[in-house]
Amino acid sequence: MLSRMFKTTACAAALAALSCSAQAQISGNVVKIGVLTDLSGTYSDLAGSGAVLATRMAIDDFVANEKPSFKIEMVTADHQNKADIASNKAREWIERENVDAVTELVTTSTALAVMKVAKEKDRVVIMNGPASTPITNEQCNDVSVHYTYDTYALANGTAKAVTTQGGKSWFFLTADYAFGHALERDTEAVVLKNGGKVLGKVRTPFPGTDFSSFLLQAQASKAKIMLFWYSSSSGVITFRKVGGLIASGLFGPPTPFRNEGLKARSGRTPLLSPSFAQLPPELNIALAGRYIQLLRPAMRTATALFEVSA
């Protein structure tokens, strides 16, 4: 839910920036935002319709507070976590529907693909779901906004803290796609730099649900720390099957990892996830409460699993 909720503040900030631009730059007196996300696949619980709702909330807040002279419209599409679908849809939006900004994206592969289209067409792309460092570093461009986190921040947060506090031997369960590869690389560098060692690693199918054989390999390695790379509901399944190892999850959604199947040893599960530290607590509570109330009933039950226990 945090990833979705960040979109309300980011989208509102982007709209505020647009309002400061010359009105002549706004084509047809309409600003059109395209939310391109996973609406049906493994990341639909992390982003999906919740990301669409968060963007709508940001638009409504901006219109209510700033009363712009231009209209704001939103279009949405499901990129199915495929880079070609994402880039083709972004190009279609820009060329045929005059979309001014593409947001969300969720996965690294779709983000990198859309960044190229946005640069070519001189349109803005705003990303807070994808996290690989190439988005922030070597493939960053002047029309891209990447915020919330990246794999460098995740590795230097949780992995460094765990290693320096005695977690010196590691086994990696890495999701076999761009995000997993980037996080494995960045985390291994941090572990080794801080005196730890990696006893083994295995690439696991993504998405996936059966991690039994991989967990057995992790246990056989005698590593103290098992680190897995899943930022979707697959992570909950993995945690339910963890045995004697201390499981260290670098990335959220944070609460299922604490509340689903690890209640007895939640204190042994180091996690790093984004927060609204820059916002006053009362605003955090109000924003989250409003978001949950606006979710369609079918999603409220699922969202309850992601609530942080007081």
Residue that terminates a domain, selected from 97, 118, 146: 146
Predicted confidence at residue 233, as pLDDT, reads 53
In a domain, 187, yes or no: yes
In a domain, 310, yes or no: no
Looking at the structure, tell me whether residues 217 and 138 fall in a common domain: no
Looking at the structure, tell me whether residues 231 and 97 fall in a common domain: no
Predicted confidence at residue 306, as pLDDT, reads 44
Predicted confidence at residue 204, as pLDDT, reads 86
Contacts of 248 by beta carbon, 8 Å cutoff, 6+ apart: 158, 159, 162, 167, 225, 226, 227, 269, 270, 271
Looking at the structure, tell me whether residues 187 and 64 fall in a common domain: no
**In the chain, which stretches have pLDDT less than 50?**
1-6, 8, 21-24, 236-237, 240-241, 243-269, 271-277, 298, 300-303, 305-310
In a domain, 39, yes or no: yes
Count the domains in the chain. 2
In a domain, 275, yes or no: no
In a domain, 291, yes or no: no
Predicted confidence at residue 264, as pLDDT, reads 35
Looking at the structure, tell me whether residues 163 and 119 fall in a common domain: no
Residues linked to residue 173 through DSSP beta bridges, in sequence order: 202, 228
Q: In what order do the strands lie in the sheet with 169-175?
A: 197-204, 169-175, 225-228, 246-249
What are the tokens at 256? 């299922």
Helix (H) or strand (E) holding 142: none
In a domain, 202, yes or no: yes
Integer CA distances (angstroms), 304 to 179, 186, 239, 289, in order: 27, 32, 18, 12
Predicted confidence at residue 140, as pLDDT, reads 93
AA letter at 298: A
Domain of residue 100 covers: 2-146
Helix (H) or strand (E) holding 42: none
In a domain, 84, yes or no: yes
Tally of helices (H runs) and strands (E runs) in the chain: 13, 9
Predicted confidence at residue 231, as pLDDT, reads 56
Looking at the structure, tell me whether residues 92 and 54 fall in a common domain: yes
**3-state secondary structure string, 195-231?**
CCEEEEEEEECCCCCCCHHHHHHHHHCCCCEEEECCC
Q: What CATH number has the domain bearing residue 60?
A: 3.40.50.2300
In a domain, 228, yes or no: yes
Taking only the tens place, the pLDDT of each residue in 134-147 is: 898 999 999 999 98
Residue that terminates a domain, selected from 146, 165, 190: 146
